[in-house]
Structure formats: C-alpha cells, structure tokens
Copies of this chain bind each other. A is one copy, B any other.
Amino acid sequence: MVKNIMIIGLCLGCIGLQRTIAQENIRPAEKKRVVSPEVHADNKVTFRIFAPQAQKLSIVGNWMDRNAFGGNGKQAMQKDGSYWSYTTEALPSDLFLYQIDIDGAVLNDPLNVYQVRDVSNTFNYFLTGGEQAALYKVQDVPHGTIAKRWYESPTLGSTRRLSVYTPPGYEAGKTKYPVLYLLHGMGGDEEAWPSLGRAAQILDNMIASGKIKPMLVVMPNGHVSNTAAPGESSRGQYPIDFFTPDVGSGKMEESFADIIGFIEHNYRVKKQKSARAIAGLSMGGSHTLFISSYLPNTFDYIGLFSAAFRMNEKAENAVFRDFDKNLKRQKDNGYRLYWIGMGKEDFLYKTGEQYRKMLDDIQMKYTYRESEGGHTWTNWRLYLTEFLPQLFQD
C-alpha cells in the first residue's frame, strides 16, 4: 500500500516537471537546446542567442581589445531565424569575459550561467583549451578547501571577511604549512582571487603536479572602509563604488598584522619569515610593497603584480612617513625573493620603471618579469603561476 502511494507521487512529480515547475525557475526546453558559448577543439568559440525581434546584436569580448567594455571592440552577430550567432578566430589558452550588445544595451548571455563579477559589472566567462587554461580549470586532482571567514581587526575596530584556501589534506593532517597572503586590486575584494583569479584551481593543480609546495593562501579584503565584498556585509546590495575613501590611506598596511595574527592563531601554519609570502595586483601590489616594508622582517617572499606604487603623503602614519627608512630596513633584514611582474602595455609601466630604478639606486635586489599585454587578469593569473613555484622551496 505504501508503495502504491509512492508511485502516484512519482507520476505526479513527472507531470509537474513537464509543466516546468519542478523548481521555481525552469525555462521552456525549446530555448535550452542551444548552447552558448561553444568552445571548439581549435579554440574558436561560437556564441548564440535567441532574440527574434532585435535589430542588431554584437559580442563584446575582452579578447577584442583592452578597453572593449567602453563600447569598442564589438563583433556583429549574424541572424538565422530567431537566433543570432558569431564565431571567433582561434583564441589563446585563457579565461575570457564577454557580454552581448543588443540594440545598444550591453547585457549578459542568457544561455551561459557561468558569470563572474569584475569590479562593478557581471560578465559571462568561458575557458578555452590549452596548457595555461588547464591550470585554471577544475581537474581530477585532490582539492583544497575555500572558506569565507570573518576575523576581528582590533586596529580597525571591525569584523571583516576573508577567503582562505587550505591545501588538500590540511584538515585531516598534522603538518604545519607556509602561508601566501594574496591581495586584490582597487576594483576587487576577498572574492576576486578565488573567482577571476582562479586561485583554488591554480593551487590544486600545481600542488598535484608537484610544481609548488602545499601552502595556505589568505585573500583578505583590501578596502578597509568595507568589511566584506559587495552584498556580503550589512551594507547590503549597494551599487559598487570601487574608489573607496580608504584607497591610499595606509590603513590596510597599518592593520595587516591583525590578519597575520588571526591566521597564525587559527590555522596550523608555520610562524617564521621563511614561511610567509605576500603578493598583490595593482592596488594590492602597492599594499604588498608598503606592508612588506612596514613589517620589514616578516616576509621572505614578495610579489608585485602590475603594482601601483602609490603613496599618500598626507596620511599621518608611519607607512608612508617612514617609507625610506622601512624599505632600507627591509633590505638590510634580507629576503629570498622580491618579484616584480609588469605588462609592456600597462598604464603603470613607467611608474614601475621608476620604482625599479629606485630599487637599483639603493641596491635592493629584485627579479623582474616583463610580459606582453597590460593591466589584466590574463597577466595576474599568469604571474601567480610563475610566482608560486619560487616559494618555500627549501
């Protein structure tokens, strides 16, 4: 008797599904047979969209030009019945972002659920084939854990959110691990490296292949006037303003010891200089530069990715006031790697050149890596894959 009732339940369930409401939001199947984007074996990519009444559609992709999202760099889609499509040339091995321009409004591809926020906009993304993108994909290897945690910052007087990657085996093991502190740029937050940066995938894959040492990666929020990423704090769902008043205040640098303290108190990590690395992109590169000099005997590995060498002379704090002295102390204390990565077309290229000259003048050693391209996640992901194998190797 019980079984009969169950079968009725099963059948009702099936009918329900046909009526599209197994869950709240099932789209009519008709629209779902079409795939977009489709990455072909030769790394050409086809986009498709259902838009029967639209006048003009284009794909706006970040491979087209560096400022693509201002309205340049579109490629027109071709109409075929109710559908429009466009196929690219073969693309490099990487993660790409795009949107669709539909009659002048730039929107996301409704057939591609894979979306990611970059600064104040959400984009569709896809990964192509090839060696570099393979590092960014989830592979069948042991996986670490990504946790979103909140820590107390006594210096700032606030409770703040960060992302922590712990390597495969961390929870069940007893080993103590080294730590990389990995900082985002002005438009980012504690979600940036785990999403656009593909940090967990890169770590999983490079640990699995033996190219890097297992380590924790701590990804804090570099805007001290926010406690968390947009939507993740009590500020709610506000329109994103990436230029926060804290930029250049020196407060991220002043309060950074709170983060190190939290991690070393809450995780099974090694607590010496030789087991600490810090790196960051753009504004996070500036943070890295000033944090590592403000705490001049703390990190053996320093990475500046497309760094903004920004200093706020007006800020009344030792981060900027004592910078010359701090940098000298950092140099005298010694370190194992001071790594600088910069793209040839980066708008910060000249500043970087001047900073390197300054390091030369005080005979402070560094490793310099100049790549193609500009101020892009393509470079920051690449730099991470090049920086990691140099850490904690003895």
Contacts and interface: CB of A to CB of B under 8 A. Distances in A.
Interface of A: 1-3, 5-10, 12-13, 15-17, 19-28, 32, 35, 49-56, 62, 66-67, 69-71, 97, 99-100, 102-108, 110-115, 117-123, 125-127, 137-140, 142-143, 145-150, 159, 161, 168, 171-172, 185-188, 228, 230-234, 236-237, 239-240, 242-243, 248, 265-266, 282-283, 308-313, 320, 323-324, 327, 347-348, 350-351, 354-355, 357-358, 361, 374-377
Nearest to A233: B138
B6 A323 contact: yes
Of the listed residues A21, A172, A308, A377, the one surrounded by the most CB atoms of chain B closer than 10 A to its CB is A21
B354 A27 contact: no
Which 10 pairs across A and B sit closest by C-beta, in order of nearness? Answer: A6-B311, A9-B309, A23-B187, A51-B105, A147-B147, A9-B351, A53-B104, A16-B347, A107-B107, A143-B150
Given A67-B20, A374-B21, A149 B145 contact: yes
Nearest to A50: B105
Contact of A234 (B69, B140, B377): B140
Given A67-B20, A117-B113, A234-B137, A9 B310 contact: yes
24 contacts: A3-B323, A5-B357, A6-B310, A9-B311, A9-B355, A10-B310, A12-B348, A15-B347, A16-B375, A21-B67, A23-B186, A23-B187, A27-B69, A53-B104, A54-B104, A55-B103, A113-B122, A113-B231, A114-B230, A114-B237, A143-B161, A145-B148, A146-B147, A146-B148
A17 B185 CA distance: 12
Contact of A8 (B26, B54, B119, B351): B351
A105 B110 contact: yes
Given A25-B119, A28-B71, A147-B148, 6 more contacts: A23-B187, A24-B375, A100-B107, A113-B122, A113-B240, A127-B237
A225 to B, nearest CB: 15
A70 B97 CA distance: 27
A185 B67 contact: no
Contacts of A347: 12, 15-16, 19, 21
What is the interface of chain A mostly: helix, strand, loop, or mixed?
loop
A123 B108 CA distance: 10
Contacts of A187: 22-23, 25-26
A138 B236 contact: yes
A311 B104 contact: no
Copies in the complex: 2
Contact of A110 (B106, B142, B146, B323): B106
A266 B172 CA distance: 7
B127 A121 contact: no
A120 B35 CA distance: 12
B243 A313 contact: no
A122 B138 contact: no
A163 to B, nearest CB: 10
Contacts of A53: 55-56, 103-104
Contacts of A99: 110
Contact of A313 (B7, B24, B35): B7
Contacts of A233: 138
B103 A25 contact: no
Contacts of A106: 110
A51 to B, nearest CB: 4
A123 B25 contact: yes
A147 to B, nearest CB: 4
A237 B66 contact: no
Nearest to A309: B9
Of the listed residues A35, A231, A361, the one surrounded by the most CB atoms of chain B closer than 10 A to its CB is A231
